[in-house]
Amino acid sequence: MKANVPLGASAEVSLKASPETLASYVGSGGLDVFSTPWMIALMERAAAAAAEPCLDPAFTTVGIAVDVRHLAGTPPGATVKAVAKLISADGARLTFEVRAEDPWGLIGEGRHERMIVDADRFLGRVSGRASGAPGNEEGR
């Protein structure tokens, strides 16, 4: 593994609460508010962005755990900002403190873990799983 992601590495990303990001659209609820799945995705984007500049080009990170709380609703049209800060690194396992805010304050917080992986090796394992999927005679 070729990485040296320093503790405290951080990044922030923003996204406008558009119709496609609403709970009513993604099926995570019936209300026209910024959805929990999109909040989590934004938090993951921030964590990935914090780690990516420190990795050799052959490596990337993949999300492996999410433990967050969605604390407040955000109306359509508002901008949501997610911030991730690396708080622990154990070999290839990175743990980030994540939070999300809208113009009125904190809407979510928690922790997110990512694993540093060799992109080609990881995709090779995924491809191997797909070729051995039920119903695929070639993978048996």
Which one of the listed residues 36, 52, 97, 109 is annotated catalytic? 36
Task: List the Cα angle 44/50/54 in 5-degree steps.
Answer: 130
User: Where are the chain's structural domains?
Assistant: 10-132
- Per-residue pLDDT at 61: 97
The pLDDT confidence band at residue 132, using thresholds 50, 70 and 90, is confident
Higher-confidence residue of 134 and 132: namely: 132
Residue 95 has pLDDT above 90, yes or no: yes
70 given a catalytic annotation: yes
Four-CA torsion 121, 124, 125, 131, nearest 10 degrees: -170
Four-CA torsion 43, 49, 51, 52, nearest 10 degrees: 140
Which one of the listed residues 60, 61, 70, 112 is annotated catalytic? 70
Which one of the listed residues 21, 44, 60, 61 is annotated catalytic? 44
113 given a catalytic annotation: no
Residue 59 has pLDDT above 50, yes or no: yes
Mean pLDDT, range 112-138, rounded to an integer = 84
Q: Residue 83 forms beta bridges with which residues? A: 12, 99
44 given a catalytic annotation: yes
The CATH code belonging to domain 10-132 is: 3.10.129.10
pTM over 0.75: yes
